[in-house]
Structure 1
Amino acid sequence: MTEPMTRITTAQIELVAPRAELDFFHQSSVHLPHAMTPLEAWTRITEEPLPLLGLAFKLRDAISARFGVTRIGGFSGEARTFVQEGDKLDFFLVETINDEVLTLSARDRHLDVLTCVTSVENTLTITSSVKVHNRFGWLYMLPVRPAHRLIVWAMLRRLKRNLG
């Protein structure tokens, strides 16, 4: 993993590669009514997945499995109050965990993904970075690019609404 490239207040945002070498980068933030740790936010976001997200994961798994990509199944909805580096949160590996940063990775021969959830005061930010390794990775990212932006936006909006 590379050195963190961006700083928001005191939380270090980790990327899968230097920013100039990324094949996909997306960052979205929301101001919440109260502060929460990145793990608390992640748990709230994934405990009740968005409608149709389960179908999207099933479709992803059905297509990707034909190219040797491990099935991920989607978000389990399992509430986790404690994780440590090296643990799994659904299909992601926990790379970094503290009160301001939760970094999750998923890597295979087609692409590497790093999702960094940061929480500074009342601002929650989700930063996703991808490094593609081959043609299938490029094809995979064609629908993921626009879908990812919409999904993260909807998840953050829903979290803010649910927190009141």
Structure 2
Amino acid sequence: MENDLPDSMRGDDETLYRFREHRLSWLAYLNVLLKGVIACAIGVAFMLFNRWVTLTPLMAQLLFAGGAAIVLFALGLVIYRVLYIRRVRLYSDRDGVWCYRGILPWRRGVIGTNWRDLRQASYGTGFLRWLTKAYPIQVDNRFTDTDPIVLANVHRGHEFVGHVNAWRNRMLRQVEHEP
């Protein structure tokens, strides 16, 4: 894990222990936009279907309305997902590791785990992930497997994982040395 960290963050350098905040990468936005374009293209195909195939007027109107509904739904979903991605914040503080997310009041909130309950943090590797610096991360709770923080396309997620594991190890060393 230490080999993936920049030179300024290796060893017991204090910059490794500074608390930080990370956001999702541009790949998360690109993913949403590509899916939205595909959904809109399907909707437009439904809207234009009567130009390619002879249909009854009622069926042509139904397909046009259905296509328009698909386009409107896809655009609304793209707007919602882009706003949602902008709100996702992965951060650490003196208490633990947390993820703030959500737009709607009933879905907005913070999930996370305290340092004492943290099992480990990990990230996925690969050439494209390394090239784009967008890593999927997972922060596990040692007492339960149902509440991990799992995020895809975290910008510089490998640095965040290194930071979290360094803090976890620092906390464990402090507990061992206490009388």
Rg larger for = 2
Could you say which structure has the greater relative contact order, defined with CA pairs below 8 angstroms and 6 or more residues apart? 1
- Higher normalized strand content (fraction of residues): 1
TM-score scaled by structure 1? 0.29
TM score, norm. by length of structure 2? 0.27
